[in-house]
Structure 1
Amino acid sequence: MTGQQLKNSILQMAVQGKLVPQDPNDEPASVLLERIRKEKEQLIKEGKIKKEKNPSYIFRGADNLPYEKVGKNEPVCIADEVPFEIPESWEWVRLGNIFQHNTGKALNASNRTGSLLPYITTSNLYWDRFELGNLREMYFSENEIEKCTATKGDLLVCEGGDIGRAAIWMFDEDIRIQNHIHKLRSYTEVCTEVCIADEVPFEIPESWEWVRFSSIIELQSGQDMAPDKYNANGDGIPYITGASNIENGSVIINRWTEYGKAFAYKGDLLLTCKGTVGTMAILDEPQVHIARQIMAIRTTGEIGILYIQVVLETLVASLKAAAKSMIPGIAREDVLKSLLPLPPYAEQKRIVSKLSEIAQFVAMYSLRENALNRLYSSFPDQLRKSILQMAVQGKLIPQDPTDEPASVLLERIRAEKQRLVKEGKIKKDKHESVIFRRDNSHYEKLDGIERCIDDEIPFEIPDSWSWTRFGTAMINRDAERIPLSVGERSKLAKKYDYYGASGVIDKVDRFLFSKPLLLIGEDGANLLLRNKPIAFIAQGEYWVNNHAHVLDSVEGLLLEYVATYINAINLAPYVTGTAQPKMNQEKMNSILIPIPPTAEQFRIVHEVSCITSVIGHL
């Protein structure tokens, strides 16, 4: 379980009444809701808020399922002519007895009198939902507006196409309809929706109630300001534009305006609804203007704003998924119609308190989880590096005292290279290096001068091993490389591998080398970053450009072992340049390399291969 999943689980428990125990002495939420309704009625009388045309009321029926009542009347049971049996709590009624019927206006491009208003067509009406991202506009006269306007609670039905496709217009804003949509409006206030069991996501305690957000909050949408309407001088009230103004639950103010229209007030919950969606903060300023990327939520009655924030955190993902726009966002109507599990006020406070109490532990869990994930992701690579380090230090496998010591192998390498020099196959090393031990120290004889190199030796090696310089041990074949441009390669058939600094980069119709050789990247960022192996064996017939060193060896010195060593060590001391890192031949030749006996080289290469194969499956 991730830290985010843990947090989501805790929030889910909180809003399901499973986080803290219920207290039978708490006043039930139904009483709280009644007080809220009375308070809203008082606010309506005082002219502070508008009366809702069809307020939502959700309750449990006799079948213990949640029901929603729109309006003041109880659901109507029908017992008239019926084609089948229905439950005792149901009633049959003719459609014409309870609904007023209208169709909308036919499109008439030549009629340009009246008000230009948005309207919906059958392309906006789907089963139980609307898609409002592509609303059209046409002109409506005053009489047409009265006839063709759908209001909250109206049932809209498609006349053609997918006949009968229907949805209830549950938005506070009125909308006009086109003539292929039937509008059914009840003569009296009846429940256009009854059972909502399919909407309720989980069971809640007996003392809790399900409510729509629209029943308990006021939602203020934002409005953008033109650049000449805001300033950075502190003149006016703060202007909050989006997620960039909210950090760690606090509001950051860097703009002001003297032309505020869309206000949020102290104690409101700010919710980002466009772009970076779901960022929230409780406003501490007396008054601010909000842009359209922000919604301001304020509660009515005894509803804790912090509890609202808890519930919204569990809903952000689904609200974002419900958005129809290509740009991530949360729709106002989706927030208002969402269901909220409402505990008693005292329990709301206990839930928020408990979440605050355990927040530090969730944060700590997330930190540990992130650290563990980093360890898991880096573990195979770190283990591989450790194995290579152990291998080239003689610590991976035990030494065999019967193995021919590496000093004998180095003598054969010197003799073989001298022979190749005499035959003109390689050039003589102008600065031949010989490393030996004396008085338990390491010395190097170079150009006839001996010096102690103990400070250069990176680690201790077994007695049967020997240190030498890379240039002494290897046969360099860089002079045989030939670079080919992209244009030149594009004209060639793709047959043989064409190698660069980090491996095969193309194919060509010819080859330079036809035996296994060691390639080591000469330049490029990989010399320092080491995202890929810097040393690798080229096989078969192939071509190498001038970005990879080409190296051969004398029998008894395995190229695979040399590659293992180069891939195990830090090459930064041998690299020049940072913008264009490069390891030239002189620097490469100066690398100190420990040489094991030939038999032990075979064992090391085999063991490393076996272990890295296992690591690859981690």
Structure 2
Amino acid sequence: MSVTIETIKQKILEQAMRGELVEQDPNDEPVEILLEQIKEEKEKLIKEKKIKKQKPMQPIEEDEIPYELPKGWQWVRLGEVAELLNGRAYKKHELLDEGEGRTPVLRVGNFFTNNSWYYSDLELSDDKYCDNGDLLYAWSASFGPKIWNGGKVIYHYHIWKVNIFGGVSKQFLYFLLLKDVIDIKDVTTGSTMIHVTKANMEKRLFPLPPIQEQFRIAEKIKSLFSLCDKWEEEVTKQQNHLSVLRNKVLDDAMRGLLVEQDESDEPAEKLLEKIGEEREQLIKEKKIKKQKALPRIEEDEIPYDIPENWSWVRFGDVSFNRDGERVPLSKSERESRSGKYDYYGASGVIDKIDDYIFNESLLLIGEDGANLIRRKTPIAFIAEGEYWVNNHAHVIDAMEFTMLKFLEFYINSIDLKPYVTGTAQPKLNQSSLNKILIALPPLNEQKRIVEKIENIYEYIDQLEKHMVLPK
């Protein structure tokens, strides 16, 4: 089973917050002294009217404590060691485009991924700005901590600035909050949008070590995370290399470079004749419909040279289209017909229903959707057993199963953009699919090619299986 870099980082944080990452030092100043200093600092700031007096924190009950801490550590509530400062809520007309305002407005989207910024020309109190080195916490939807390094900005209402008391290590508190995000997500259902309230956040329980140990822990986590990041870069490179290898295998296969040609193989021309004869028989038996004549292959269409006993053909010349047997079902129909049979769409199985249409191995090819362009999942895939297909996947049969496998690899190896229509909703209609140019080897060579690809892919799969994956 593959391990992810993310789970390794989570394990590091878990060990750190249990006191298992670095050794305890009996010479460290006890955490009780730090808490006393924090109390004195807060009283001084209240007296100077720099912070407001808090309501007393609820005492920590024994049944709240999740695990035992090392000697010298103590459970505290976040509100005892830090103050969460609210950002400013903006009206729509106050958010200006670039060039219209002086100061960027940091929203939750900018906090994580979005590079589209709004600006403000308002003059605000100092506590509504944050700058490099400030610890922030986004509390709505995408949530979590960040040590800001993007210059002076105004932080939005859905972000808190964390004002830390008593010299508590900012980096340690950042990692503490990062670990807490994992804990919150662990008890929240995947579909739920998470909003962390200020009152609840201030009441959350955190393990607090002596100040010197906080710094040692933070440095150790940074060091280990840095190793993880380097490891992730290396794994990503390896994955990219394997992806390139897969593509190279397919490319070589479809040019006749993956396996040796055998002069005793019956040429592709003879195979085409046999396919034509079978097509006529199937039409006669009314199992498939007669298709329109396909355009002749022009010389300027041919992209590369192929072996002598291969032939350039169109997809429709070597396949039998069975789209007429597909039956789409609405979501409500599928819900009322829930069952054990796979229900296929453009990118694979999307549901289970109570009946099947097909009971044989056939090639399915996505008919529409963004995947035709993005290619995040295979466009062509074999469906086996008993299953149902909707009208978003072409259903393709062939003279032999080997040909279906060859066509599957072939379609997944080529750029389909020249055959796809539409931009908002890309579509590969039956007419365009049938016109796709195919480099067709003899049937026996197809078998050797398919076997060779499968053997190489199995080896690549084994390599990937034992990798530590990035996410």
**TM-score under structure 1 length normalisation:** 0.48
Are residues 397 and 222 of structure 1, via their aligned partners in 2, closer, same or farther at CA, if it must alter by over 3 Å? Answer: same
Say yes or no: does 1:302 pair with 2:150. no
Q: Deviations over 1:188-227 (max 9, x none)?
A: xxxxx57x33322333332222222222212222341323
Q: 2:205 is matched with which residue?
A: 339
Residue 406 of structure 1, aligned match among 257, 266, 284? 266
> How do residues 207-226 of structure 1 correspond to structure 2 at under 5 angstroms?
207-226=72-91
Please, which moves more after superposition, 329-338 or 573-582? Answer: 573-582
CA RMSD of aligned residues (A): 6.1
3-state SS in 2 of match to 1:257: coil
Residue 246 of structure 1, aligned match among 95, 111, 115? 111
CA contact 1:273–1:329 (8 Å) conserved in 2? yes
> How do residues 130-529 of structure 1 correspond to structure 2 at under 5 angstroms?
170=58, 196-229=61-94, 231=96, 238=103, 240-246=105-111, 254-260=119-125, 263=128, 268-282=134-148, 289-319=154-184, 327-368=193-234, 382=246, 386=249, 393=256, 406=266, 410=270, 413=273, 456-458=304-306, 460=307, 466-468=309-311, 470=313
3-state SS in 1 of match to 2:200: helix
- How far does residue 293 in structure 1 lie from its aligned partner after superposition? 0.4
3-state SS in 2 of match to 1:270: strand
Please list every run of 5 or more consecutive structure 2 residues that lacks an aligned counterpart in the other structure. 281-289, 329-344, 349-359, 385-390, 466-471
Q: Deviations over 1:349-399 (max 9, x none)?
A: 2222222333321222334555677889x79x949x959976995977996
Are residues 209 and 457 of structure 1, via their aligned partners in 2, closer, same or farther at CA, if it must alter by over 3 Å? Answer: same
Whole-Å Cα distance in 1 between the matches of residues 188 and 436 of structure 2? 63
Larger Rg: 1
Say yes or no: does 1:595 pair with 2:438. no
- How far does residue 278 in structure 1 lie from its aligned partner after superposition? 0.9
Whole-Å Cα distance in 2 between the matches of residues 202 and 559 of structure 1? 63
Whole-Å Cα distance in 2 between the matches of residues 242 and 584 of structure 1? 48
Are residues 243 and 548 of structure 1, via their aligned partners in 2, closer, same or farther at CA, if it must alter by over 3 Å? Answer: closer
Q: 1:37 is matched with which residue?
A: 39
Q: Deviations over 1:60-110 (max 9, x none)?
A: xxxxxxxxxxxxxxxxxxxxxxxxxxxxxxxxxxxxxxxxxxxxxxxxxxx
CA contact 1:389–1:568 (8 Å) conserved in 2? no
Whole-Å Cα distance in 1 between the matches of residues 43 and 272 of structure 2? 103
Q: Deviations over 1:406-442 (max 9, x none)?
A: 269949959x98xx9xxxxx9xx9x999xxxxxxxxx
CA contact 1:230–1:255 (8 Å) conserved in 2? yes
Q: 1:17 is matched with which residue?
A: 19
Whole-Å Cα distance in 1 between the matches of residues 366 and 118 of structure 2? 52
Whole-Å Cα distance in 1 between the matches of residues 186 and 145 of structure 2? 16
More helix by share: 2
Q: Which amino acid aligns with 1:208?
A: W
- How far does residue 568 in structure 1 lie from its aligned partner after superposition? 3.8
3-state SS in 2 of match to 1:254: strand
Q: Deviations over 1:580-608 (max 9, x none)?
A: 66797999597553325xxx479759968
Whole-Å Cα distance in 2 between the matches of residues 351 and 522 of structure 1? 51
- Identity in percent: 22
Q: 1:5 is matched with which residue?
A: 7
Whole-Å Cα distance in 1 between the matches of residues 193 and 323 of structure 2? 53
Whole-Å Cα distance in 2 between the matches of residues 319 and 586 of structure 1? 48
Q: Deviations over 1:435-470 (max 9, x none)?
A: xxxxxxxxxxx9xxxx9xx99533x57xxxx33454
Q: 1:158 is matched with which residue?
A: none
CA contact 1:28–1:207 (8 Å) conserved in 2? yes
Q: Which amino acid aligns with 1:33?
A: L
RCO (CA 8 Å, sep 6+): is it higher in 1 or 2?
A: 2
CA contact 1:469–1:592 (8 Å) conserved in 2? yes
More strand by share: 1
Q: Deviations over 1:476-523 (max 9, x none)?
A: 999x9999999xxxxxxxxxxxxx9999xxxxxxxxxxxx9x999898
Aligned length: 399
CA contact 1:230–1:239 (8 Å) conserved in 2? no
Please list every run of 5 or more consecutive structure 1 residues that lacks an aligned counterpart in the other structure. 57-169, 171-192, 421-425, 434-445, 487-499, 504-515, 538-543, 552-557
Q: 1:81 is matched with which residue?
A: none
Q: Which amino acid aligns with 1:272?
A: A
Whole-Å Cα distance in 2 between the matches of residues 368 and 374 of structure 1? 10
Are residues 484 and 276 of structure 1, via their aligned partners in 2, closer, same or farther at CA, if it must alter by over 3 Å? Answer: closer
Whole-Å Cα distance in 1 between the matches of residues 154 and 433 of structure 2? 67
Q: Which amino acid aligns with 2:65?
A: V
Q: 2:336 is matched with which residue?
A: none
CA contact 1:20–1:351 (8 Å) conserved in 2? yes
3-state SS in 1 of match to 2:63: coil
Whole-Å Cα distance in 2 between the matches of residues 561 and 284 of structure 1? 57
CA contact 2:145–2:174 (8 Å) conserved in 1? no
Whole-Å Cα distance in 2 between the matches of residues 39 and 276 of structure 1? 33
CA contact 1:575–1:582 (8 Å) conserved in 2? no
- How far does residue 25 in structure 1 lie from its aligned partner after superposition? 2.1
3-state SS in 2 of match to 1:13: helix
Are residues 279 and 310 of structure 1, via their aligned partners in 2, closer, same or farther at CA, if it must alter by over 3 Å? Answer: closer
3-state SS in 2 of match to 1:275: coil
Q: 2:284 is matched with which residue?
A: none
CA contact 1:467–1:594 (8 Å) conserved in 2? yes
Q: Deviations over 1:527-576 (max 9, x none)?
A: 88694449999xxxxxx9xx99998xxxxxx5445444444435659965
Are residues 320 and 295 of structure 1, via their aligned partners in 2, closer, same or farther at CA, if it must alter by over 3 Å? Answer: farther
